[in-house]
């Protein structure tokens, strides 16, 4: 037995089984291979973004920060296809600050092999999340 105060169960993203039957190009882990325009490799008419996508030449962990940042370029490229305009190139950032709220006003931050837990990190996480959501929603296309 090992004594502990809290346990955090961390898992890794896994591809959905149906991807193997999709006929689309998959990486070695079973995720959809996409190019720098978020098109599925070998297809001009199929796009993918988020955890289901694995970008050739830019492997990143399955983390929300990478998934959500694909949203705007995906939207831009879908619109570009409909308008016959050039596609936008997207290269994901190489590193990220992980902030995990513990549900009690505390937060754990991690970047690379460094980790820190503190109450004040929750305030930082909340500010970053709210700023990102504000910036993200103001950048969405007009749906009227």
- The string of pLDDT tens digits covering residues 7-54 is 877 777 889 999 999 999 999 999 999 999 999 999 999 999 998 999
Distance CA 101, CA 75 (A): 29
Long-range CB contacts for residues 135-143, cutoff 8 Å, separation at least 24: 136/68, 136/71, 136/72, 139/72, 140/75, 141/75, 141/79
Q: What is the CA radius of gyration of the chain?
A: 18
Percent with pLDDT over 70 in the chain: 96
How far is 35 from 55, CA to CA, in rounded Å? 6
The mean pLDDT of the chain is 88
Beta bridge partners, 24, equal: none
Given a cut of 80, whether residue 116 has pLDDT beyond it is yes
In contact, 75 and 54? CB cutoff 8 Å:
no
What is the arithmetic mean of pLDDT over 71-97?
Answer: 92
């Amino acid at each position: 037995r090992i004594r502990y105060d809290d346990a955090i169960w961390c898992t890794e993203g896994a591809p959905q089984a149906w991807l193997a039957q999709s006929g689309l190009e998959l990486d070695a882990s079973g995720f959809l291979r996409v190019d720098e325009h978020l098109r599925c490799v070998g297809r001009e008419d199929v796009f993918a973004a988020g955890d289901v996508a694995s970008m050739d030449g830019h492997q990143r962990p399955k983390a929300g920060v990478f998934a959500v940042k694909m949203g705007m370029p995906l939207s831009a490229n879908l619109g570009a296809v409909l308008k016959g305009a050039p596609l936008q190139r997207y290269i994901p950032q190489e590193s990220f600050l992980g902030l995990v709220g513990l549900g009690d006003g505390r937060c754990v931050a991690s970047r690379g092999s460094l980790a820190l837990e503190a109450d004040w990190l929750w305030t930082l996480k909340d500010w970053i999340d709210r700023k990102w959501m504000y910036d993200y929603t103001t950048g969405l296309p007009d749906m009227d």
